[in-house]
Amino acid sequence: MRFDPATDDLRKPAPWVRWHAAADVFMTNCGLKPARPRVPARQVEPLRRFSKDTGHRTSALVNGDPYGRAVLLIHGTPGSALGWADFVAAPLPGSRVIALDRPGFGSSRIGGAVTSLMAQAEAAAEWLKDAERPAVVLGHSLGGAVAAQVAANNPDRVGALVLLAASLDPGLERVHPLQRVGAWPGVSKLLPSAIRNSNEELMALQPELVKLAPLLSKIRCPVLMVHGTADALVPPANVDYARTRLRGARAVQITWLQGQGHFLPWLAAASVREALCHALDWCDAAPAVGEATTC
Domain boundaries, the chain: 15-294
Residue 226 has what pLDDT?
98
Mean pLDDT along residues 248-264: 96
What's the confidence (pLDDT) of residue 295? 40
**Calpha distance 99→59 (Å, rounded):** 9
Which of the four pLDDT bands, split at 50, 70 and 90, describes residue 45? very high
**How far is Cα 61 from Cα 49, in angstroms, rounded to an integer?**
6
- The mean per-residue pLDDT over the stretch 49-75 comes to 92
Question: Stretch 8-25: mean pLDDT, rounded?
Answer: 48
pLDDT of residue 289: 39
Nearest Cα residue to 146 out of 110, 182, 176, 116: 116
For 262-284, what is the mean pLDDT? 96
What pLDDT was estimated at residue 199?
A: 92
Domain 15-294 in this protein, CATH class: alpha beta
Give the residue from 44, 132, 58 showing the smallest Cα distance to 91: 44
Q: What is the pLDDT of residue 27?
A: 46
- pLDDT value, residue 235: 95
pLDDT digits (tens, 9 = 90+) for 180-199: 888 889 888 888 889 999 99
- The pLDDT of residue 8 is 59
The phi and psi torsions of 48 (rounded to 5 degrees) equal -70, 135
What is the spatial distance between Cα 239 and Cα 255, in angstroms, rounded to a whole number? Answer: 10
Q: Residues of the chain with pLDDT > 70: what percent?
A: 84
Higher pLDDT, 229 or 21: 229
Stated pTM of the model: 0.88
What is the arithmetic mean of pLDDT over 34-51? 91
CA distances from 1 to 13, 16, 38, 113, 289 (A): 13, 8, 30, 41, 28
Query: Which phi and psi angles does 71 have, rounded to 5°?
Result: -125, 105
Q: What is the DSSP letter of 99?
A: E
Average pLDDT over residues 110-123: 92
| Predicted pLDDT of residue 291 | 41
Distances (CA, A) of 231 to 23, 105, 157: 11, 24, 31
